[in-house]
């Protein structure tokens, strides 16, 4: 696939770390929430192997926050997600599909509860701020909605905890998964969550002060030498192997949460009020006719820039692959695909056209095993 340079502009915002990651050898970008997000450094495979063994610092400022504060903030946040947040606790992170009045997905953010009346919705790639503003206006909610200047640095990989303990002290080891707390280093205070867009363990630092973030970036590399630290970014191979879904790639506003396997985050039996609740009840009752599953394809290469159709022997449509990559672990192409119901339990093979050659593959459950 031919490569094309991206033209930077204010509209595709740089981050406080852009100068640093470019000095550190970022080799490609994607755009996420109108912001530059690094897509590779040495190479996808080299970054992947390193991430699974050592520790990386990621510029994920593109994970923007929608801050919702005020008297009706809890009501507004609940209205946006099908996950029951009525028992949510301050200091916790909640992975929460956002759903519209049609029961269709809008985003799959982490919702951070900072106070009973203060929330940060840490979003995937869609403008949740306008969804929130629209709902708030129609309901005449007393809330303030804004995008604060928060630019996340993620520290990911099996050695992340050791590195973070060197900077922030041993107590950071006690921070539980999907919990957050403030920690100090030198003159700065940092909001740190145990979370991140990999399954290799690690932390996300929600940086509220650009200088504090740039300092932290430099400290991490200084202290990280002994852990073989490298710059990195959400890695396509690792995230597909780990079945971490991506809004816009694997699902979008044409899909409902059941189709995206979010069943355990759809709390229809609770008495909380959220958009699309009645639609989702009906969808659950009728049953879905397609859902996201894994696929393994006997190929060593695939370029994805739109969904690709899967066919059975009789040329009936099996489904559509939406994300895929060569996996060095499975020694095949693996991908995430929307699969039609007749093929959910199929051990049959499907056919797929990659660069005008036909390859065969099989459907499998997620996560890949």
Q: Nearer Cβ to its own copies, position 8 or 341? A: 8
Cα–Cα distance measured from residue 282 to residue 84, given in angstroms and rounded to the nearest whole number = 18
Task: Determine the angle formed by the axes of helices 128-139 and 73-80, rounding to 10 degrees.
Answer: 120
Q: Nearer Cβ to its own copies, position 9 or 289? A: 9
- Among candidates 341, 299, 348, which has minimal Cα distance to 324? 299
Q: Which two tokens stand for residue 306?
A: 């739109």
Q: Nearest approach, Cβ of 228 to its own copies (angstroms)?
A: 25
Q: Nearer Cβ to its own copies, position 164 or 280? A: 280
Q: Nearest approach, Cβ of 52 to its own copies (angstroms)?
A: 20
The HSE-up count of residue 363 (CA atoms within 13 Å, CB side) is 24
Q: Nearest approach, Cβ of 353 to its own copies (angstroms)?
A: 15
Q: Nearest approach, Cβ of 258 to its own copies (angstroms)?
A: 19
Q: Nearer Cβ to its own copies, position 240 or 266? A: 240
Q: Nearer Cβ to its own copies, position 6 or 165? A: 6
Cα–Cα distance measured from residue 190 to residue 209, given in angstroms and rounded to the nearest whole number = 9
- Left if phi > 0, otherwise alpha if psi is -120 to 50, otherwise beta: which for 243? left
User: How many whole angstroms from its chain centre is CA 355?
Assistant: 28
Return the SS3 of 130: helix
> Which positions touch its own copies (CB under 8 A)?
1-14, 18, 22, 26-31, 34, 39-40, 100-101, 106, 125-140, 147, 246-249, 253, 275, 303-307, 322-323
- Among candidates 194, 211, 218, which has minimal Cα distance to 112? 194
Q: Nearer Cβ to its own copies, position 306 or 358? A: 306
Q: Nearest approach, Cβ of 337 to its own copies (angstroms)?
A: 11
User: How many whole angstroms from its chain centre is CA 230?
Assistant: 21
Q: Nearest approach, Cβ of 204 to its own copies (angstroms)?
A: 21
- Left if phi > 0, otherwise alpha if psi is -120 to 50, otherwise beta: which for 88? beta
């Amino acid at each position: 696939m031919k490569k094309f340079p991206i033209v930077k502009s204010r509209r595709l915002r740089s981050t406080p770390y852009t100068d640093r990651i470019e000095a550190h050898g970022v080799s490609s970008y994607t755009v996420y929430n109108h912001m530059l997000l690094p897509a590779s450094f040495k190479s996808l495979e080299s970054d992947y192997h390193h991430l699974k063994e050592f520790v990386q610092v990621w510029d994920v400022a593109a994970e923007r926050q929608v801050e919702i504060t005020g008297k009706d903030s809890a009501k507004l946040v609940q209205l946006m997600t099908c996950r029951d947040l009525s028992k949510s606790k301050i200091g916790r992170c909640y992975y929460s599909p956002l759903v519209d009045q049609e029961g269709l997905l809008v985003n799959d953010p982490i919702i951070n509860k900072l106070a009973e009346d203060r929330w940060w919705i840490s979003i995937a790639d869609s403008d949740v701020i306008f969804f929130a503003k629209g709902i708030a206006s129609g309901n005449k909610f007393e809330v303030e909605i804004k995008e604060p200047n928060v630019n996340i640095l993620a520290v990911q990989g099996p050695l992340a905890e050791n590195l973070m303990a060197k900077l922030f002290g041993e107590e950071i080891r006690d921070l539980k998964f999907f919990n957050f707390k403030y920690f100090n280093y030198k003159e700065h205070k940092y909001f740190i969550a145990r979370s991140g867009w990999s399954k290799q363990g690690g932390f996300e630092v929600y940086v509220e002060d650009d200088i504090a973030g740039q300092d932290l970036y430099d400290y991490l590399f200084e202290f990280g030498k002994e852990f073989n630290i490298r710059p990195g970014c959400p890695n396509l191979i690792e995230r597909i192997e780990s079945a971490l879904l991506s809004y816009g790639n694997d699902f979008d506003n044409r899909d409902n949460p059941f189709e995206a396997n979010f069943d355990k985050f759809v709390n229809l039996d609770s008495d909380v009020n959220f958009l699309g609740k009645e639609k989702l009840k009906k969808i659950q009752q009728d049953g879905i006719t397609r859902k996201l599953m894994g696929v393994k394809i006997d190929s060593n290469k695939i370029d994805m820039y739109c969904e690709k159709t899967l066919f059975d022997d009789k040329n009936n449509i099996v489904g559509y692959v939406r994300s895929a990559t060569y996996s060095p672990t499975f020694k095949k192409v693996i991908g995430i695909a929307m699969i039609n119901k007749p093929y959910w339990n199929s051990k049959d093979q499907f056919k797929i056209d990659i660069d005008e050659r036909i390859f065969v593959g099989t459907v499998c459950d997620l996560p890949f095993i």
